[in-house]
Amino acid sequence: MSSGGPAPAEADRGETSGVRTALAGLTTRGRSFLAAGIAAAVCSFVLGLSELLRVGLLLAVLPLICAAVLYRTRYRVAASRRLAPGRVPAGSEARVHLRMDNVSRLPTGLLMLQDRVPYVLGPRPRFVLDRVEPGGRREVSYRVRSDLRGRYPLGPLQLRLTDPFGMCELTRSFSTYDTLTVIPRVEPLAPVRFGGEAQGYGDGRQRSLALAGEDDVIPRGYRYGDDLRRVHWRSTARYGELMVRREEQPRRSRCTVLLDTRGGAYEGAGPDAAFEWAVAGAASVLVHMLERGFSVRLLTDSGSAVPGESGDGFGGSGQETADAAGLLMDTLAVIDHSDGTGLSRAYDVLRGGNEGLLVAFLGDLDEEQATTVAKMSRRSGGAVAFVLDPDVWTREATDVPRPGDRHAERLRMLREAGWTALSVPRGASLDELWRQADRERSGLAAVNGEARG
């Protein structure tokens, strides 16, 4: 939830004179009163009527007084904005709460509020507030919604002040603004178990030796407070002093999500485009694996990852998992097409070590790119690829089907290299493809087991 704290609005300090600003805000009624007062004063000198001079002064001074009072009170109005929530999935609504406080000792006149919002969030909201008493406040709210992910600024808030007589009207803008983050849609996935993956907390554990220091590379010496049941007698006899066994601790399983962002790999734009489906799929897998206790990592074709991500990716429990998911969603909310044409940089990152389970969302592949992707499965415990054919996603349902020999050939290359590769039809459900990948990989594992037998 983001908010802009109550703070007095800043004046337009670049203007040469506050008097000019106040006079420029005179309404038609105020200008008419001022002109009538000046005309009455001139006529009083010509005709010699002192009573007419009094009337003219009253007519001329009234709009000037209203402008001076209104200009002075423009610094004494504070505003705040609050988003609920500040991070919302695409297609969902968020509510924006506006609060106006009159911190002066004088009541305000009629107020009109207008908040600046991008056109993709809807029309500009406008509100009319009646007289606000000294020390009083008014609260209004409006809803925003976007089908396109991204970060959208809200504000600055514009306020139009008028005096009770309607003589003067001043418009000013507050300096504070907030940002609404529209993240990709996250689809719940079934808790399947791909063959070859190392399980994380909750679904099984791998044991690893705790490396508490340099002396833990071998059975270390006895320390005060160590449990005597951990004494390693063979090492004790060898070194002539008490030696204890190293502790074992569960090792968090790893999952790398590879997102192909090459501009030439996708066609079309909009919320139903192939690239948006790939981004939403990557977000769903990342959140799903985090909830299962995996240490997750987001990787793009350019070899870059999420800023602040450790070498082992994001992981944790409780609030750490929520924070990691929020950071990943913020990254995916603004991710865009890259200028790259290949996947070699991502391969260089992956071949540095065992990345555990590898889940890839790929666009159109040529033969060289498919060969690079095929080699990525060698350093993974399991590899699943969702390949989007741009021809399928761009043509209409009534069009004549085009031959998919090239796309089928790329899938065959990946499967021969050990990938569980699936073609993604237009508008497909990721959960269904997720289950299908589990069935195909389980069947492949059973066939390999029979072959070894």
From first to last of its 453 residues, the chain has per-residue pLDDT tens of 334 443 344 334 434 456 677 788 888 999 999 999 999 999 998 888 888 998 999 999 999 988 888 777 655 788 899 999 999 999 999 999 999 998 888 787 778 899 999 999 988 999 998 888 888 999 999 999 999 999 999 989 998 877 778 888 888 888 888 999 999 999 999 988 764 444 443 443 444 433 333 344 457 777 766 777 778 888 888 888 888 876 544 556 889 999 999 999 998 888 999 999 999 999 999 999 998 888 899 999 998 767 656 556 776 666 778 888 899 999 999 999 999 889 999 998 887 665 689 999 999 999 999 999 999 988 787 899 999 988 888 765 434 445 457 889 999 999 999 999 999 999 899 999 999 999 988 765 544 544 444
First to last CA, the chain: 58
Q: How far apart are CA 297 and CA 284, in angstroms?
A: 13
Q: Which residues contact 424 (CB under 8 A, 6 or more apart)?
A: 274, 277, 386, 387, 388, 389, 433
**Residue located via tokens 């070899």:** 303
pLDDT of residue 73: 63
For residue 13, which amino acid is it? R
Q: How far apart are CA 268 and CA 450, in angstroms?
A: 45
**Residue located via tokens 């849609």:** 185
Q: How far apart are CA 169 and CA 310, in angstroms?
A: 55
Distances (CA, A) of 380 to 201, 234, 350, 445: 19, 37, 9, 15
Kindly report the number of other CB atoms within 10 A of residue 250's CB atom: 14
- β-strands 77-84, 93-102: how paired? antiparallel
Tokens, residue 13: 């300090």
Q: Which residues contact 352 (CB under 8 A, 6 or more apart)?
A: none
Measure CA 243 to chain center.
52
CB-based contact 85:14 (threshold 8 Å): no
pLDDT of residue 354: 59
Choose among 116, 92, 111, 89: nearest CA to 100. 111
Q: How far apart are CA 293 and CA 281, in angstroms?
A: 19
CB-based contact 155:179 (threshold 8 Å): no
Q: How far apart are CA 416 and CA 412, in angstroms?
A: 6
Q: How far apart are CA 252 and CA 249, in angstroms?
A: 10
Choose among 246, 271, 275, 273: nearest CA to 259. 275
Q: Is 178 exposed, middle or buried (0-12, 13-18, 19+ CB in 10 A)?
A: buried
pLDDT of residue 168: 87
pTM of the predicted model as reported, rounded to 2 decimal places: 0.76
pLDDT of residue 311: 56
Among left, alpha and beta (phi > 0; psi -120 to 50; other), residue 408 is alpha
The number of residues making up the chain comes to 453
Kindly report the number of other CB atoms within 10 A of residue 310's CB atom: 10
pLDDT of residue 223: 73
pLDDT of residue 75: 59
Q: Which residues contact 362 (CB under 8 A, 6 or more apart)?
A: 258, 260, 265, 278, 373, 385, 386, 387, 388
